[in-house]
Structures are given as structure tokens and as C-alpha cells.
Structure 1
Amino acid sequence: MGIFANIFTWWNGSTFGTWVGLRGKEQVGEDSLGNLYFQGGADMHGRPRRWVIYKGSNDSSRVPPEWFSWLHHQIDDVPDRALPPLRKWEQPAVPNLTGTALAYRPAGALEKGGKRVAATGDYEAWTPGA
């Protein structure tokens, strides 16, 4: 597919039109996942417009929390300068795993064999008029 996929499909990453639209915009940073962040122009409230170009598939859960804050104008400067350094107990953000083999599946889910623990007897069903 090559160049045609880049022109016509948005779900595989940014399209050719997106890159043309980013001409003249300033690249302000890159996160640990390889996503690129741009800023330029102004929105209808006078704030600078901000974009993310995903490395790989377009999935908003792949934006780390600190860059999410920057994209949504919760912080003014890029995260490296605006936020304190990570603490040793903080863990890296995890993308949304729904629909993947790593998604959470509770006991009793068909993917885990479909067997649940038997009820303990502490449940009493409601019956009308009782």
C-alpha cells in the first residue's frame, strides 16, 4: 500500500494532509513513545493550537499524562520545563489495552475458561410479594 495508505487512511498514523497542515508550526517536543508535539497559530479563544502526531496507530491513550496536560492547556510550558521530575515511586503510564491479549479479563470470562467461583450462599434473591 505504501504511499496510498499515507494519503487515504488516518487510522495507520498521520496522513499526508496532516503533515502539509503542520508546515510553519513549531515542533516543541517528543515523548518517550516517539509521539511528536507541535504548536502554532491560535484557537478561537486566543490560546496557541497544539497537536500530537502519533508514532504508529492513532490511539489517544498513548499520550502520556504530562503531555495530555500540555495538549489541553492545563500547563503552559512543555512538561520537561513545567513539571517537577518524576518521583521514584511513580510508574510509567500504560496505554489502553482493551481489545488486546493483555486486556483485563475477570474470573469467569470466556477468554479465561468461562468458569467462575461458586456462589457462597450469602445472596438471597428478591421475590415479589415476599
Structure 2
Amino acid sequence: MFKAIFTWWNGATLGARFHIGRRGVFVGQDDYGSRYYEAKDASDSYDGRKRRWVIFSGYAEASKVPAEWHGWLHYTFDEPPTVQPLLRQAWEKDHRPNLTGTVHAYRPQGSLARGGERQKATGDYIPWTPE
């Protein structure tokens, strides 16, 4: 209960959930479990467009929003992906969120997170030495 009141990074605060529940209409849900809402009317809007929200499932990270929902949230598409799915090209890959700062982040050989040891430099590398 304490988290729901004071922390926005673990989903939405209690106040945001109350406001969205009162003023918004559920539009759809993505593969990650995040839920998307749109304002019931234009009274909760700016520029004459209905306001749109996302309540993240788990940690609130903007890179978890797939391309089709990102386009809808930013008014690139009028219809949500639940009504008019985004056509995908054969060369497009599935969406993956940014994993930087998590245990699943990419850590190349030689990084401090993997022990900091790497192969000695070879070839044309000559280390600088002071004279």
C-alpha cells in the first residue's frame, strides 16, 4: 500500500490510478502487461485531442512501450493497435525493452561486471610510456 501511494516507478501511484480510472477508458493491453487508456472526453485534454495514458506492469520504463503503442500514445496513429494493428515488415524484429541497468544488460568481455579481465592487446598497439 505504501508503494502505491508514494512510488511512481513501480507502476502508477494511487492518485494516478484514481484519476485515470475516473477520467479514462481502457483501450488495450500490450504483451508486457502494460495497460493503455484514453480520456472519456476532450475536457481532460490539450490541443483538442483526448489525453492518453499507460500504466506499466512492474517497473515504469518508457522503453517497454512497443512501437505500435508508442505511435498511438503520441498521436501518430488515430486507432489503437487493438482496433487497427500495425503492419509489420518481414525485416522487423520483435520489440525488446532497454535492459541497461538490469541484471540482463549486455556486458562485453573485459567489462568490470564480468571480472574486468580481457586479452592482451596485440598487433599494432604500442602503449604510451612517459620519457
Measured against the shorter chain, the TM-score band is 0.7 to 0.9
Report whether the alignment pairs 1:39 with 2:41.
no
Q: 1:83: which partner in 2?
A: 86
Where does structure 2 lack aligned partners over 5 or more consecutive residues?
A: none
Deviations 1:31-66 (A, max 9, x none): 111111011135332222110011112111211111
Q: 2:15: which partner in 1?
A: 17
Q: 1:5: which partner in 2?
A: 3
Q: 1:100: which partner in 2?
A: 102
What fraction of aligned residue pairs are identical, expressed as a percent? 47
- Distance in 2 (CA, whole Å) between partners of 1:61 and 1:83 is 18
Q: Secondary structure at the match of 1:105?
A: coil
- Distance in 1 (CA, whole Å) between partners of 2:102 and 2:23 is 37
Query: 1:113: Cα distance to partner?
Result: 2.4
Query: 1:120: Cα distance to partner?
Result: 2.5
Maintained 8 Å contact 1:75/1:82: no
Query: 1:82: Cα distance to partner?
Result: 4.7
- Among 107, 119, 122, the alignment partner of 1:120 is 122
Amino acid corresponding to residue 73 of structure 1 in structure 2: Y
- Distance in 2 (CA, whole Å) between partners of 1:107 and 1:18 is 43
- Distance in 2 (CA, whole Å) between partners of 1:5 and 1:114 is 37
Q: 1:26: which partner in 2?
A: 25
Maintained 8 Å contact 2:36/2:55: yes
Query: 1:93: Cα distance to partner?
Result: 1.2
- Distance in 2 (CA, whole Å) between partners of 1:77 and 1:107 is 45
Superposed CA RMSD in Å reads 2.3
- How many residues align structurally? 124
Maintained 8 Å contact 1:27/1:39: yes
- Distance in 2 (CA, whole Å) between partners of 1:53 and 1:73 is 17
Where does structure 1 lack aligned partners over 5 or more consecutive residues?
A: none
